Amino acid sequence: MRNVVTMKWLLARLYEPDMVIVDCRFQLGQPDAGRHAYEESYIPGAVHFDLERDLSSPVGEHGGRHPLPDINELVQKLGKAGIDRNVRVIAYDDQGGMMASRFWWLLRYLGHEQVYVLDQGFSAWKSAGYPVTNAAPPVRFPKTFEAQLHPEMLASVEDVRRASQEGTDVLIDSREAPRYRGEMEPIDKKAGHIPTAKNRFWKDVLGADGAWKSAEEQRERFGDLKEEESIIVYCGSGVSACPNVLALEEAGFQNVRLYVGSWSDWISYIHNPITNGDEDYRAK
């Protein structure tokens, strides 16, 4: 089964008892917008997880703008939401899968295999005439989520330095091209990218219709890479890199790590090198 499920797939299983739906809507710069959107309407049965309150920890000197959440706190929140490692979990958002992919990655990191992203997201679901509700949030029977961490899914700043300097891993920058090239930087304090990184904008995981591309199309996006290569993916703060991590897995790559701190962590170390321009040499 793919990591992405269609709206029809979810509709057919909407009320199955062994499934939990997670609303991950969030707007950067508008920290309450996702919660308000959820309160206005959501897919029946869905619980809400907020990027900054639930899926990240507070910002510090290092670690980037969206550091990993406290694992014990996240595990307790998952259990309270009725999630253990036996249920299927479907995450959705309204941001092209960016926030839902962060949730997907976190659950995979915690050892949960049956977690998926809903294709196209909430607005497409609603536009298709599928059911939504604004009833009081559902009360879930609490469960115990037993985490089994997978540290091999994480890349540290030291790993990224080594990859940049020695070529131990391929670095993938998931931000849009002008930010990668250092022509603009609307969020972080410094512009540019990590030396040797290739640019693969995360939104290119989607087709023109807003649906996730097929596994074959994802393989085309990363056609200059070899499946046996070690890959580290980053973005601005470790969120929009997650769709690329998912897409790489769809494409058959098995040695993929996420640099959670990403660019915002990299630039917090004054001696880390920065480069500008386009050094992304794709295979022709």
pLDDT tens, residue by residue, 130-145: 999 999 988 889 999 9
pLDDT at residue 281, as a whole number:
40
CATH of 154-266, one of 3.40.250.10, 1.10.3720.10, 3.20.20.70, 3.40.50.880: 3.40.250.10
pLDDT at residue 139, as a whole number:
85
Q: Where in the chain is the domain with CATH 3.40.250.10?
A: 4-127, 154-266
Asked if 89 and 77 touch (Cβ cutoff 8 Å), the reply is: no
pTM above 0.85, yes or no: yes
Considering the domain 4-127 in this protein, what is its CATH number? 3.40.250.10
Q: Is the pLDDT of residue 163 over 70?
A: yes
Average pLDDT score over residue span 17-25: 97
Tokens representing 114 are: 């049956």
pLDDT at residue 1, as a whole number:
58
d(CA 183, CA 277): 8
Burial status of residue 87 (CB atoms within 10 A of its CB: 0-12, 13-18, 19 or more)? buried
pLDDT at residue 200, as a whole number:
97
**Residues, the chain:** 284
pLDDT at residue 213, as a whole number:
97
Is residue 280 very low, low, confident or very high in pLDDT (cuts 50, 70, 90)? low
Percent of the chain with pLDDT over 70: 98
Average pLDDT score over residue span 152-160: 98
22-31, 155-164, 171-180: least confident range: 22-31
Helices (H), the chain: 7-12, 33-40, 71-80, 98-109, 121-127, 157-166, 177-180, 215-221, 241-250, 262-266
50-59, 112-121, 273-282: least confident range: 273-282
Taking CA 135 as the corner, what is the angle to CA 48 and CA 82, rounded to the nearest 5 degrees?
40
Q: Which residues are catalytic?
A: 235
Tokens representing 249 are: 């897995």
Q: Where are the beta strands (DSSP E) in the chain?
A: 4-5, 19-23, 47-48, 88-92, 115-118, 170-173, 198-199, 231-234, 256-258
Is residue 38 very low, low, confident or very high in pLDDT (cuts 50, 70, 90)? very high
Asked if 222 and 248 touch (Cβ cutoff 8 Å), the reply is: yes
3-state secondary structure of 183: coil
Is residue 94 very low, low, confident or very high in pLDDT (cuts 50, 70, 90)? very high
pLDDT digits (tens, 9 = 90+) for 190-217: 999 999 999 999 999 999 999 999 999 9
Q: Is the pLDDT of residue 87 over 70?
A: yes
